[in-house]
Chains A and B, each alone.
Chain A
Amino acid sequence: MSAKRPLEGLRVLDLCVVWAGTYATCILADMGAEVIKLENVHVFAPMTRGGRARPPKAIMTGSMAWGTGYPNNEPGPRAWNYCPTFVQLYRNKKSVTIDLTSEQGQALLRPLIEQTDVFVENNAAGTAEKLGVDYDSLRAIKPDIIVLRAPGYGLSGPYRDARTLGAHLESVTGHTLLRGYADRDPSQTSAIFAGDHMAGSQAAFAIMAALRHRRRTGEGQLIEMAQAEAATPMVAQAYMQQAFTGVAPETVGNRSIYGFAPHNLYPCRSPGSAEDGGDRWIAITVTSDAEWRALRGEMGDPEWARTADLDAAEGRLARQDEIDQHIGAWTRDQDDYDLFHSLQRVGVAAAPVLEASRVFDDPHVQARELNAPQMLPDGLGPYLFNNPPYKFPATPLTHERPPVAMGQDNEYVYTQLIGLSQEEYQAIVDAGDAGMDFDADIP
């Protein structure tokens, strides 16, 4: 008997939106579970297959590539299948369209639930109840089902119904005030969505832990994740400082919260500017006196660095602004990768700050096969997509299926899983519920 992937043989229904839940089910799919996205051609869930179903060409060139940079700056025939914000997280998944807002759709879901091990959703609290897929409804059909619900602020409390994306969660959990430039107002901060990585990973972990409990006891359960709570480990030290000292944590930008110095970004020889994505920087962090001596040696033991007070961390911390000026002057005309290698060879943690287009050529990225060419629907591609980044030698985890198009697996799910005849399935298609296009009147 050959080895199976960790979750092979398990079925997961995925009613997730945006990133957090979608990343959780991406991990489960990478681990071998059959993950089926539940989608609805009559309802466009914003920020799930894009900001809009049919984005105007006028916005294609206007903002961040990861927000609106559709293939060749064209919305294409089915923009929802290649929105760059989301499409990477659709690997190894299947998709069915089913109208859960209708009684017929809910009835069709029932036989599918009977064959489902895990149900995952991260909609606003209350949505699952409206669609008949809350925990009590699901376990009435499948008593040992494991259900993970991950609304932004949980299923209870005054913020339960707040609408939120990762950026808002991040503000509420304290991260937005803690990160950013030390010498600039927080209103100059850009929005990031770091909490989704935390929520998705921990949701996948909790689901696998619950599956273990089910193997041992036969018991399913409800897992409730408030994404805001799941994001707090990213700012753990700030909470701990408040709890242990009562002193409010400071915003230190790229400096070390532990007082390691030097610890910053430094300019490198650049083929362009920040306006065109061509500015280059190297991150250098010195976390011990030995690393400082190594860095000093690489710089050629300059006079300014040889004063005795810089031999110890406290001395370097006291003069870090001045040290940063000197290091920046030294790095300014050098190549970031050359510096990376020369500093790492003497034991100093340094790394180029890679603009996204440079990732693919990195020797580590290539050696580890972090990406592989995949085709998108409508003949688009090939493009390099992320592979599962976990090296399991006995049970290899690979990019089995390219990012799934909406409704791509309708026939399989309706006929083989739900058990409809071809005629019955065709009736669902004819009624417009099983399809690969959002309704024409959805913008």
Chain B
Amino acid sequence: MPGPLDGVTVLDLSEWIAGPYATKLFADAGADVIKIERPARSGPAGDPSRGVGPFHGGAPHPEKSGTFFYFNTNKRSLVLDLTQEAAREAFLRLVDRADLVVESFRPGVLDRLGVGWDRIHARKPEIALVSLAPFGQESPYRNYKLTDLTLFGMCGEMYSMGVQDAEPIKMYGTAALVQSGASAAAAAMAALTVTETQGIGQHVDLALADLQFNGTDRRHAAEIGYQFSGRKSLRAAGTARQILGGVYFCADGYVMFVSSAQYLDRVRAMLGDPDWLRDPKWDDPAVQLDPDAIGEFDAYFLPWCLDRTKREIWTEARAHRVLCGPLFTVAELFDDEHFRGRGFFAEFEHADLGRVEIPGRPVIMSATPWQNRRPAPRLGEHSREILAEAGFDAAAVEGLVASEAAFAAQAAS
């Protein structure tokens, strides 16, 4: 069965993490995503994410980047030197056949390359261009840069993450960029919907910053909470939290309980209805925030945790419907019977890497399944076939390659 976006063609000029995650969702849903990569000029060829790890086997290599692989599954790669007119003409011929264009250059770059919104719109009025820039196309900060740390620090709710006697602390890796990329995918899908249902093209202006500011990772709640009742979204003060509100040691690691005391009868059942927990004072939400009460509770609760492994605790919690989660490592997750049994991991065969297995689909669609059609592309792997599809005959394709307007990969060794 084809994916839900079968027949959709996306021209993808985006780079690094956020844009490629947005277009990965399109590719995994069955769209033909043509990843247009840059040739070697002032820097190495291709998406800069080819230059960062983790590298398969450990040594840096542009076809062995785990970052590039993960964010570019199911796409095809075309290398175009858009500073050349012949490459721009090839790009516009692809626009003729495409349904959506996505880019993540700094504002103004696409115009300077001669394939900006005006030229795309003149060529095909019903197609949308989705621009995903750090601060958008129109902003006092439009020329400023963003990285995951600065994005989360300024626009996400980093300030209140961590503890008061240390600096605020970020999420892992590029989590904030991926969040903004996921939101951008939804917006780009809406833009495609407008093209398909109304025949209207438009230049959609998205900012990574805005998708964090107005997304849903606590910042929206901290903003309104401040207006309601003052500045209270602070980092945690030492041990002060609430009953069953944090990470607890256990026999082999850690478990997290948060908001679990809201259903205290379930906790009572999980703990075997001990005498000490029968006191109705524990049901009082004010007591649940009281530091002395937290200490008293933990004196009973921590020994119970330390007698059990994280999986044993979670089994007990699940049986009694108590909010809980063990802290797993990714190694544990690759072996986990739940995720493995659900078929979450996706296998790909790659020319340079052999068989690899990585986390798979975000959703299961009953009529239009998520697909693993191909691994992340090698640089320029599909240049010749894509140019041929755009209507260039064999001699013209070789002319583009010879003039370095396009670059085509050699077959894998």
A215/B197 in contact, CB under 8 A? yes
Contact residues in B for A329 (Cβ distance below 8 Å): none
Binary per-residue interface labels of chain B (306-323) against chain A in the complex, 1 for a CB within 8 Å, 0 otherwise: 000000001001100111
353-384 of chain B: CB within 8 A of chain A? 353, 356-368
| Minimum C-beta distance from A383 to chain B (A) | 5
A240/B183 in contact, CB under 8 A? no
Given A224-B363, A276-B231, A395-B202; A349-B339 close (CB under 8 Å): no
Of all chain B residues, the one with the shortest Cβ separation from A84 is B225
A210/B365 in contact, CB under 8 A? yes
Contact of B185 among A56, A202, A389 (CB under 8 A): A202
A243/B193 in contact, CB under 8 A? no
B225/A65 in contact, CB under 8 A? yes
Question: Is the C-beta of B140 less than 8 angstroms from some C-beta in chain A?
Answer: yes
A201/B173 in contact, CB under 8 A? no
A62/B286 in contact, CB under 8 A? yes
Contact of B358 among A58, A239, A256 (CB under 8 A): A239
B221/A85 in contact, CB under 8 A? yes
| Complex Cα spacing A353 to B328, Å | 29
304-353 of chain A: CB within 8 A of chain B? 344, 347-353
| Complex Cα spacing A188 to B161, Å | 11
| Complex Cα spacing A265 to B150, Å | 9
| Minimum C-beta distance from B39 to chain A (A) | 19
| Complex Cα spacing A88 to B139, Å | 24
140-161 of chain B: CB within 8 A of chain A? 140-141, 143-147, 149-151, 153-155, 157-161
Question: Is the C-beta of A151 less than 8 angstroms from some C-beta in chain B?
Answer: no
Which of B84-92, B205-213, B399-407 is the contact stretch? Answer: B205-213
Of all chain B residues, the one with the shortest Cβ separation from A62 is B289
Of all chain B residues, the one with the shortest Cβ separation from A9 is B197
Contact residues in B for A188 (Cβ distance below 8 Å): 163, 247
Question: Is the C-beta of A200 less than 8 angstroms from some C-beta in chain B?
Answer: yes
Contact residues in B for A257 (Cβ distance below 8 Å): 172-174
Which of B251-259, B274-282, B387-395 is the contact stretch? Answer: B251-259
Binary per-residue interface labels of chain B (178-217) against chain A in the complex, 1 for a CB within 8 Å, 0 otherwise: 1100110111011111101110111111110111011111
| Minimum C-beta distance from B82 to chain A (A) | 22
| Complex Cα spacing A196 to B221, Å | 13
Counted as pairs of residues, one from A and one from B, with CB atoms less than 8 Å apart, the total is 560
Contact residues in B for A351 (Cβ distance below 8 Å): 146, 150-151, 153-154
A237/B54 in contact, CB under 8 A? yes
18-39 of chain A: CB within 8 A of chain B? 19, 23, 26-27, 31
Question: Is the C-beta of B297 less than 8 angstroms from some C-beta in chain A?
Answer: no
Question: Is the C-beta of A17 less than 8 angstroms from some C-beta in chain B?
Answer: no
| Minimum C-beta distance from A25 to chain B (A) | 11
A232/B359 in contact, CB under 8 A? yes
Question: Is the C-beta of A133 less than 8 angstroms from some C-beta in chain B?
Answer: no
Of all chain A residues, the one with the shortest Cβ separation from B29 is A209
Question: Is the C-beta of A300 less than 8 angstroms from some C-beta in chain B?
Answer: no
Given A52-B285, A240-B67; A245-B58 close (CB under 8 Å): yes
- Chain B CB count within 10 A is highest, among A194, A254, A360, for A194
Contact of B25 among A172, A205, A244 (CB under 8 A): A205
Given A205-B182, A206-B365, A368-B210; A194-B175 close (CB under 8 Å): yes
| Complex Cα spacing A88 to B169, Å | 25
Contact residues in A for B193 (Cβ distance below 8 Å): 6-7, 31, 208, 211-212
149-198 of chain A: CB within 8 A of chain B? 153-154, 156-159, 161-165, 167-181, 184, 186-194, 196-198
| Minimum C-beta distance from B48 to chain A (A) | 9
Given A190-B161, A234-B178, A390-B206; A171-B213 close (CB under 8 Å): no
Given contacts A245-B58, A284-B150, 5 further A-B contacts (CB under 8 A): A64-B234, A67-B221, A193-B218, A229-B360, A277-B232
A–B pairs, 26, beta carbons within 8 Å: A6-B191, A47-B262, A58-B285, A65-B232, A84-B221, A162-B324, A165-B259, A201-B182, A211-B193, A224-B363, A229-B344, A229-B362, A234-B178, A241-B53, A243-B357, A244-B69, A248-B329, A265-B149, A265-B168, A276-B231, A353-B158, A364-B139, A364-B141, A389-B206, A391-B205, A393-B203
